[in-house]
């Protein structure tokens, strides 16, 4: 069995360990503030292609504020065990309800009956949102980061079925483009990134760079509609060239040696942690989350909660230079207007792109603590 992440790789006050028997997983997690029993629990859920390690810059300060702070490697990631990395595996364990069950099992295994808040970034954001929607008795607040949650549409009771939607993917292909989530759902995607011609560390460096505020073209604006004509306005790491894999797509944006040396939010030693972990596991575990979404295999399950909304206090935090807040047209507005009844604030952090808690940790800590103390 693989050991927990080495202490030398972590900031002071954070420890790594495994907990077995959580929804079929042996879950690897980082935690801070664990020395004193009885502290309120604060759960941090990462996205793609990230790890529990992505929260390293904010965990000590949140623990100093009095919380038991826990960040797991989620199903399909890092040093968590018990999931299949096979493309042809059963996708059911990767569907949203199973991911929520993982989080619930973690709460119980830690000896808590409730969490002061659940915080999710990127694909961790919908997991946190569903935790809040399904179990408000356990999760008392929710912070969504970088990926707005649009809620569950109501069932069209008594209404005529809508006309068939235009095939946006065919329209994108006619323009020489494709959507990254549907690319991530293809069989070749894992190998094309894992075995990138430029090498895995260089691929990750370029990918993290191009979605950060360090990449000057990241100047996001709202899109008018979910149409090919609008979606092609997104950067090519979201709406890709039709004949490119992601490694090839981001390769031309590889930062220079000087830019890498100046990157205080992700120095080479920290990038190597990601490269080592993904070098061992590949990306298929995280990619299976996208396949659950794009295949719509489990969409009918969510209809049980059609029209339900998040009723607990909520906040949204993202980088001001993050295209993720606009990649689904209208999502940011629907989250505030429909999905959440008690949305406290939307905080767009200057000087941050998609990796907001790594690029601007002090601002994220401040925003989270303000929300938690309100």
Please list the active-site residues. Answer: 122, 354
Strand order in the sheet with 142-145: 14-22, 25-32, 68-72, 41-45, 117-121, 142-145, 314-319, 343-349
CA distances from 321 to 193, 255, 335, 371 (A): 24, 17, 19, 22
Closest to 360 (Cα-Cα) out of 348, 371, 349: 349
* Token representation of residue 307: 């029209």
How many other β-carbons are positioned within 10 Å of the β-carbon of residue 132? 29
327: three-class secondary structure by DSSP = coil
Helix (H) or strand (E) run with residue 146 in it: none
Q: What is the Cα gyration radius of the chain?
A: 20
* Token representation of residue 54: 């992505």
* Token representation of residue 112: 């808590």
CA distances from 6 to 19, 79, 281, 357 (A): 16, 11, 17, 22
CA–CA separation, 38 vs 35, rounded Å? 10
Q: Which residues pair with 17 in a beta bridge?
A: 29
Cα dihedral: 165, 170, 176, 179 (round 10): 60
Task: Locate the DSSP E strands across 202-253.
Answer: 239-241
On whether the CB atoms of residues 74 and 45 are closer than 8 A, the answer is yes
């Amino acid at each position: 069995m693989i050991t927990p992440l080495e202490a030398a790789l972590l900031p002071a006050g954070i420890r790594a360990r495994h907990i077995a028997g959580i929804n079929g997983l042996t879950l690897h997690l980082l935690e801070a503030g664990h020395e004193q029993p009885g502290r309120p629990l604060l759960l941090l859920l990462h996205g793609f292609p990230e790890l529990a390690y992505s929260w390293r810059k904010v965990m000590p300060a949140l623990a100093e504020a009095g919380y038991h702070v826990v960040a797991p490697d989620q199903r399909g990631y890092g040093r968590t065990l018990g999931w299949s990395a096979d493309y042809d595996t059963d996708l059911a364990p990767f569907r949203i309800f199973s991911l929520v069950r993982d989080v619930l099992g973690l709460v119980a295994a830690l000896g808590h009956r409730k969490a002061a808040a659940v915080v999710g970034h990127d694909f961790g954001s919908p997991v946190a949102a569903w935790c809040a929607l399904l179990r408000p008795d356990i999760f008392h607040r929710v912070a969504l980061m970088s990926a707005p949650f649009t809620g569950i549409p109501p069932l069209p009771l008594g209404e005529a079925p809508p006309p068939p939607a235009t095939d946006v993917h065919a329209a994108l292909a006619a323009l020489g483009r494709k959507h990254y989530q549907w690319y991530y759902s293809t069989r070749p995607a894992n190998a094309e990134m894992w075995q990138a011609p430029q090498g895995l560390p260089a691929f990750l460096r370029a990918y993290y760079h191009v979605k950060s505020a360090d990449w000057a073209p990241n100047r996001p604006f709202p899109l008018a509609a979910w149409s090919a004509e609008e979606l092609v306005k997104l950067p090519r790491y979201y709406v890709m060239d039709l004949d490119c894999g992601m490694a090839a797509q981001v390769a031309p944006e590889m930062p220079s040696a000087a830019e890498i040396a100046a990157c205080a939010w992700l120095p080479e030693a920290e990038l190597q942690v990601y490269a080592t972990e993904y070098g061992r596991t590949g990306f298929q575990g995280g990619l299976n989350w996208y396949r659950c979404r794009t295949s719509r295999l489990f969409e009918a399950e969510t209809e049980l909660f059609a029209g339900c909304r998040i009723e607990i206090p909520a906040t949204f935090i993202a980088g001001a230079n993050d295209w993720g807040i606009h990649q689904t047209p209208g999502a940011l507005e629907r989250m505030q207007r429909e999905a959440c009844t008690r949305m406290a604030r939307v905080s767009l952090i200057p000087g941050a792109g998609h990796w907001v808690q790594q690029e601007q940790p002090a601002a994220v800590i401040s925003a989270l603590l303000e929300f938690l103390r309100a």
